[in-house]
């Protein structure tokens, strides 16, 4: 089955006062219709930048985005002109942001903001758009859609705002939804609701979802495939089950070991990964993880290990587990 979203060799560089550093380094992946792929990594590793780059929201001169291809249903969207790109965003590909509190405009009602998106991308009259908007709100779980449409963002809880964002992101039935840590700022109840909505989208509309999170449990439960990102590079990618059951990259293993497990036999042990995440301006040469890796040897720091097929997925490591 041809993937809905295909990203090949995506790189992003930040340009600030003459210094250029790589925020995202040669990332490639694809997502098929109705599937969810997880992108996991610690804060600041480049996950959000990747999503923004795919959407085309990173502009020169602050950022330089290069890619062999970014294809949406076979069509290259990486080099579109302004108007064409704007026609795409919200209609064929949409993004859900991490902080629903600040992502919505405080001086307009939910209804107004969602209706605006509908009017922009669909050929509907105001009355029709309003109906569509109310339906969309109803679908994500708002029982009294009219009341919520008339509410302002600050009048709602974080979970409700995020649901509204999902309604906005999906009202035009996009083929792809990039969800950037959609549940990080929410409590467990709201988290469950949001993830449920994403699952519904995949099932009902065949939407391809890129789920970005630093929460391994969320990824494991909701994604078919998963990728581990560190300092802008994908270190390992595989089916979610395989990845978490049998990690090949030392970093992945380290991340999994960090999850406190309350088990019947052993007491809960949490192993932190030694050292700290390097600053993007001062990345180690070769494999970025080498300085913190127990298995590293001098060859690891000489050149970045290329992704190799292993165990059903790919690993970028000279000495995989």
Partner 1 sequence: MPYLARRLLHGIALLLGVTFVSFLLMVYFGPDKTYDLVGKNPTPQQIGEVRHELGYDRPFLQRYGDYLRQLLTLDLGLSDSSGEPVSAMLERSVPVSLALVLPGFVLGNLLGLAFAMLAAWYRGSWLDKLITSASVVGMSISFLIIIIALQVLLCTPYGLNLFPVRGWKVEGLASYLYYVTVPTLALVLVTLGYNTRYYRAIVTTEAERDHVRTLRAFGASPVEIMFRHVLKNSLIPILTRVMFSVPLVFVSGSLLLESYFGIPGIGQVTFNAITSDDQPVLKAVVGLTGVLFALALSVNDLLYTKVDPRLTER
Residue number with CB closer to partner 1 (102 or 281): 102
Does 205 bind partner 1 (CB under 8 A)? Our answer is: no
Q: How far apart are CA 316 and CA 319, in angstroms?
A: 9
Report in angstroms how near the CB of residue 13 gets to partner 1 at its nearest.
18
Report in angstroms how near the CB of residue 105 gets to partner 1 at its nearest.
4
Does 64 bind partner 1 (CB under 8 A)? Our answer is: no
For 263, the enclosing helix (H) or strand (E) is none
Residue with tokens 């109906």: 131
Contact status, residue 42 vs residue 230, Cβ threshold 8 Å: yes
Residue number with CB closer to partner 1 (60 or 282): 60
DSSP per residue, 116-180: HHHHHHS---HHHHHHHHHHHHHHTT-SSHHHHHT--GGGS-HHHHHHHHHHHHHTT--SEEEEE
Residue number with CB closer to partner 1 (57 or 280): 57
Report in angstroms how near the CB of residue 189 gets to partner 1 at its nearest.
24
Burial class (CB in 10 A: 0-12, 13-18, 19+), 228: buried
Report in angstroms how near the CB of residue 169 gets to partner 1 at its nearest.
8
Residue number with CB closer to partner 1 (164 or 296): 164
Helix residue ranges per DSSP H, 140-282: 145-149, 158-170, 188-205, 216-222, 240-245, 250-257
Q: Which of 13, 33, 42, 57 is the binder for partner 1 (CB under 8 A)?
A: 57
Does 105 bind partner 1 (CB under 8 A)? Our answer is: yes
Q: Which of 103, 185, 256, 280 is the binder for partner 1 (CB under 8 A)?
A: 103
Residues 6+ apart with CB under 8 A from 86: none
Does 87 bind partner 1 (CB under 8 A)? Our answer is: yes
The token duo for 115 is: 């209706």
Would you give the binding string for partner 1 spanning residues 126-155, x where CB under 8 A is met?
--------------------------x-xx
Does 33 bind partner 1 (CB under 8 A)? Our answer is: no
Does 316 bind partner 1 (CB under 8 A)? Our answer is: no
Does 111 bind partner 1 (CB under 8 A)? Our answer is: no
Q: What is the DSSP letter of 274?
A: S
Binding site for partner 1 (CB under 8 A): 55, 57, 85-91, 94-95, 97, 99, 102-108, 116-117, 120-121, 152, 154-155, 165, 168
């Amino acid at each position: 089955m041809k993937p809905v979203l295909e990203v090949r060799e995506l790189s992003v560089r930040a340009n600030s006062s003459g210094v250029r550093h790589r925020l995202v380094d040669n990332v490639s992946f694809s997502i098929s219709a109705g599937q969810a792929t997880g992108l996991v990594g610690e804060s600041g590793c480049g996950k959000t930048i990747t999503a923004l780059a795919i959407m085309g929201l990173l502009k020169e001169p602050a950022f330089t985005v290069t890619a062999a291809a970014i294809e949406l249903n076979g069509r290259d969207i990486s080099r579109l002109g302004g108007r064409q790109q704007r026609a795409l965003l919200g209609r064929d590909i949409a993004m859900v942001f991490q902080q629903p509190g600040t992502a919505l405009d405080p001086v307009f009602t939910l209804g107004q903001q969602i209706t605006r998106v509908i009017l922009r991308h669909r050929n509907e009259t105001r009355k029709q758009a309003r109906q569509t908007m109310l339906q969309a709100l109803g679908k994500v779980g708002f029982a009294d859609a009219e009341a919520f449409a008339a509410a302002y963002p600050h009048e709602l809880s974080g979970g409700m705002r995020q649901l509204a964002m999902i309604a906005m992101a999906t009202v035009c039935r996009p083929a792809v939804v990039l969800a950037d840590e959609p549940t990080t700022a929410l409590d467990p109840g709201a988290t469950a609701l949001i993830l449920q909505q994403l699952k519904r989208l995949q099932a009902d509309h065949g939407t391809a979802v890129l789920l970005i999170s630093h929460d391994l449990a969320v990824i494991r439960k909701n994604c078919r495939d998963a990728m581990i990102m560190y300092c802008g590079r994908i270190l390992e990618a595989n089916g979610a089950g395989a990845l978490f059951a049998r990690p090949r990259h030392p970093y992945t293993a380290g991340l999994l070991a960090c999850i406190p497990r309350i088990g019947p036999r052993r007491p809960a042990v949490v192993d932190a990964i030694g050292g700290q995440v390097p600053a993007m301006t001062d990345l180690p040469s070769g494999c970025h993880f080498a300085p913190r890796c127990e298995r590293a040897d001098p060859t690891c720091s000489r050149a970045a290990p290329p992704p190799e097929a292993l165990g059903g997925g790919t690993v970028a490591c000279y000495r995989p587990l």
